[in-house]
Amino acid sequence: MADYREMWSELGLDLALHDKLCAALPPLFEEAFLHQKDRPSGMDYFNMVIAEVHGLRIKELVDHKRNGGFVVGSFCVYVPEEIVLALGGLMVGLCAGSQFWVPEGEKVLPRNLCPLIKAAIGAKLSKTCPYFQSVDLVVAENTCDGKKKAWEEMGRLVPTHVMDLPNRKSKEGMDLWRSQVRELIKRLEDLSGRKLTYEGLMEGIRKVEAKREALRGLYETRKADPVPISGIDSLVVSQIAFYDDPERFTSMTNQLVQECRDRVSSGFGVFPKGTKRILLTGSPIVVPNWKVHHILETSGASVVVEENCTGTRYFKGSVDTSPKDLEGLIDALADRYMNGINCACFSPNQGRLDDVVELAREYKVHGVVDVTLSFCSTYQVEEGALKRRLKEEGIPLLCLETDYAPGDEGQLRTRVEAFLESL
Ligand code: BJ8
């Protein structure tokens, strides 16, 4: 990696602590990825992005700001990237998946809170995340209780705009959401000094839709048996979608998709034909949290699809681009988010159960693994409904709860092995 210390210092990073964080990532990546056989050569690009995670992309963000642009950080797939792009900004996902940041977060948040939230606050407090240090505005959202209260702390550390998500997907809920999308536009217009135009929004929609389409293409190839790419490789591609340059990401993912399609045509796969196929669902799995995929795929299974926000929820549904005026297009954009994403923060959330069943059939899985982060109560409560529905459908289910701390791998592996044995 090139020397980025001067840039990191200008961003206000705690360099000594940041060195420790940077030292922890390569062995983690090596252990989770580099032992795999027959990885597609298209993964070389994504390996490089991980190796350069605090370098190349950060430099691009800094250059973008120097050229008059702005950077927005987000924590949820409900925040519409299309609007940020349309107003000349860049958006990066700030969800944090490393145990490194959890103790720092626990200094201001209760310990019995999900690790994703504690790590996010810890990343900012410890001044070791160059993405956080680069953002002009955090666009947060009222989804689960932990997040909505944590934003009050976040607002003390960095300018924060909170989108109010409805609890129900009702007519009133939809009206609230559309108004919240308009409030975000206003906030970003003030930040950028630009006015949202129909053409600008169309261009933002085109870029994000191309990214989603590339990911859909990748997932489509995972329906094959043998599967052309491992679940953990596909996961890291989805994780990178949250912060890479959208157009470069789309182009590199499309190259990978072509390679995977060629593999499918010739019957070549990364696991033997007949390997147990798993659908993974639950809380989001963000960089560098590769724990459960690694355990599953080194225990003889293949993760072929993820029904979560670092999986199908990220790319499900397209924006209807038929409206001919800006207001109509904004409504269509808002509708795509409300209709396409089924988060456990909504009550009821029947759509997620239907999605899991539909995907389980489409990807011909042998079983479903529901992975919730500790203290993620929305997904944990929904486990009951998921159990009942999958029992009715005759689909085996394993429920796992974990966090970012090492130490539970042995116990998780024992449960995974017993589950695979039973399939
Ligand atoms: S749309 S899943 S990205 S809110 S893991 S912080 S839910 S306690 S992240 Fe999410 Fe948007 Fe929903 Fe998706 Fe709370 Fe659970 Fe923690 Fe979570």
- Locate 83 and state its tokens: 């609007």
Cα–ligand 1 centroid distance for 343 (angstroms): 7
Cα–ligand 1 centroid distance for 203 (angstroms): 28
User: 30-50, pLDDT tens digit by residue?
Assistant: 999 989 999 999 999 999 999
- Assembly ipTM: 0.94
pLDDT at 381: 97
pLDDT at 186: 98
Cα–ligand 1 centroid distance for 283 (angstroms): 6
Q: Which of 74, 118, 144, 381 to mutate to test the pocket of ligand 1 (most atoms within 8 A of CB)?
A: 144
Q: How far is CA 28 from CA 182, 237, 248, in A?
A: 41, 17, 26
- Locate 144 and state its tokens: 């689960």
User: 265-324, pLDDT tens digit by residue?
Assistant: 999 999 999 999 999 999 999 999 999 999 999 999 999 999 999 999 999 999 999 999
Q: Which of 116, 164, 312, 403 to mutate to test the pocket of ligand 1 (most atoms within 8 A of CB)?
A: 116
Burial of 270 per CB tally in 10 Å (0-12, 13-18, 19+): buried
pLDDT at 1: 64
CB 77 less than 6 A from any atom of ligand 1: yes
pLDDT at 96: 87
CB 380 less than 6 A from any atom of ligand 1: no
CB 275 less than 6 A from any atom of ligand 1: no
CB 284 less than 6 A from any atom of ligand 1: yes
Cα–ligand 1 centroid distance for 324 (angstroms): 34
Q: Could you give the CA distance from residue 239 to residue 236 in angstroms, rounded to a whole number?
A: 5
Q: Could you give the CA distance from residue 58 to residue 2 in angstroms, rounded to a whole number?
A: 12
Q: Is the distance from CB of 213 to CB of 317 less than 8 angstroms?
A: no
pLDDT at 3: 87
Please tell me the residue having the least CA distance from ligand 1 atom 12: 343
CB 400 less than 6 A from any atom of ligand 1: no
pLDDT at 182: 98
pLDDT at 195: 98
- In this prediction the pTM is 0.97
Residue stretches of the chain with pLDDT short of 50: none
